[in-house]
Structure 1
Amino acid sequence: MQYGSEEERSLIEKFVMYPILLTVFNRDLQIINGSPFKLRQPYVALIEQIMNQISKDLFDVRVELRKRRIKVMDGKREGDITEYEIFIRGYREIMRFPNIHLKNKTETLMLSYLHVLAE
């Protein structure tokens, strides 16, 4: 049974996705810093700016979830699924995300933060 509204489910998905995005951008930043780029700083500055924006967005989502009395527990990977335990105003719910969905959603969010239109 689903206890949250569509808007709340969207907030929960963002709460799940933003840390994944931060991890991906952080790994990319480490790769760029270790690579022999001639002009490394513009890439580093871009990624750091995006990471700062994601962190701010994550903070806003956390505040909104707290206001709505929603708590999201850390995900547990089980094969091709990542499972999150959600508490919505006292009700417990399990949300399952296929890992391929998380990967595709990460790509889409990366493109939006990079302001690239996928065609």
Structure 2
Amino acid sequence: MQYGNEEERSLIDKFVMYPILLTVFHRDLQVVNRSPFKLKQPYIALLEQIMNQISKDLYDVRVELRKRKIKVMDGQKDNDVTEYEIFIRGYREIMRFPNVHLKNKAETLMMSYLRGASQ
């Protein structure tokens, strides 16, 4: 049974996705730092700007979840699925995300952040 409304589900989805994005961008930043680019600084600045925006967005989502009395427990990976335990105003729910879905959603969000940073 689903306890949260659509807006709350969207907040939970963002809370799950933003740390994944931060991890991906952080790894990319490490690769750029070790790469033989002649002009690394523009890439580094872009990645840091995006990571700062994602961190701000994650903070905003955390504040909103706290206001709504929603708690999301760390995901547990099991083969092809990552499982999150969600507490919504006292009710417990398990949300399962296929890892393929998380990967595809991460790519989509990355593209939107990259587009936003270039404007």
Q: Give your verdict on TM over 0.5.
A: yes
Whole-angstrom CA distance in 2 between matches of 1:111 and 1:31: 19
Structure 2 equivalent of residue 80 of structure 1: 80
Whole-angstrom CA distance in 1 between matches of 2:28 and 2:65: 29
Whole-angstrom CA distance in 2 between matches of 1:92 and 1:79: 23
Structure 2 equivalent of residue 44 of structure 1: 44
Structure 2 equivalent of residue 55 of structure 1: 55
Structure 1 equivalent of residue 9 of structure 2: 9
Residue ranges of structure 2 left out of the alignment (5+ in a row): none
The alignment partner of 2:4 has SS state of coil
Report the Cα offset of residue 57 of structure 1.
0.1
Structure 2 equivalent of residue 33 of structure 1: 33
Report the Cα offset of residue 18 of structure 1.
0.1
Instruction: Choose between structure 1 and 2: higher helix proportion.
Output: 2
The alignment partner of 1:74 has SS state of coil
Size of the alignment, in residue pairs? 116
Whole-angstrom CA distance in 1 between matches of 2:54 and 2:91: 29
The alignment partner of 2:87 has SS state of strand
Report the Cα offset of residue 80 of structure 1.
0.2
Whole-angstrom CA distance in 1 between matches of 2:20 and 2:78: 17
State the identity %. Answer: 82
Aligned pairs (5 A) from 1:68-107: 68-107=68-107
Residue ranges of structure 1 left out of the alignment (5+ in a row): none
Whole-angstrom CA distance in 2 between matches of 1:6 and 1:99: 22
Whole-angstrom CA distance in 1 between matches of 2:10 and 2:101: 14
Report the Cα offset of residue 3 of structure 1.
0.2
Structure 1 equivalent of residue 64 of structure 2: 64
Deviations 1:63-108 (A, max 9, x none): 0000000000000001100000000000000000000000000000
